[in-house]
Amino acid sequence: MSHNCSYVTEGAEQMHVVLMIHCSVSHYIASALKLKKIALSVKGKVAVVSALNNGKKNASICKKFGLSQSTVSTIWKNRSALLDAHENAITSANSR
């Protein structure tokens, strides 16, 4: 492992400190870059599923809707239940 820091020495103790600092900074940066949590409506989730069905890439959908890749993957995984719920909502709204 190479670091450009002038205070790094060959001692294991100093290397441990540098690694701890590196991990802390990396964690801080990752935390600062996390997306803000948003509540996506059923309609929005259906739009995500529709975009995926139309061949859009996961990354472009993440950017468009402001979602993480994990969230988009979870929406895709639960698409059948989501589409059923959406269809039931439309049907019950039309029967009023």
The CATH number that applies at residue 67 is 1.10.10
The parent domain of residue 87 ranges over 42-94
Read off the tokens for 39.
């509540």
The rounded percent of the chain whose pLDDT value lies above 70 is 59
Q: What is the dihedral of CA 25, 31, 34, 39, to 10 degrees?
A: 180
Question: Which of 86, 87, 91 lies closest to 41 in space, CA to CA?
Answer: 86
If one counts the domains in the chain, the total is 2
Better-predicted residue by pLDDT, 7 or 67: 67
pTM, two decimal places = 0.58
One domain, residues 48 and 19: no
pLDDT band at 58 (very low <50, low <70, confident <90, very high): very high
Q: What is the pLDDT of residue 26?
A: 47
What gap in Å lies between CA 53 and CA 58, rounded to an integer?
11
Whether 85 and 42 have beta carbons less than 8 Å apart is answered as yes
One domain, residues 80 and 57: yes
How many Å is the maximal CA-CA distance in the chain?
A: 76
pLDDT tens-digit readout, 8-52: 445 555 554 444 554 454 444 445 555 566 788 888 999 999 999
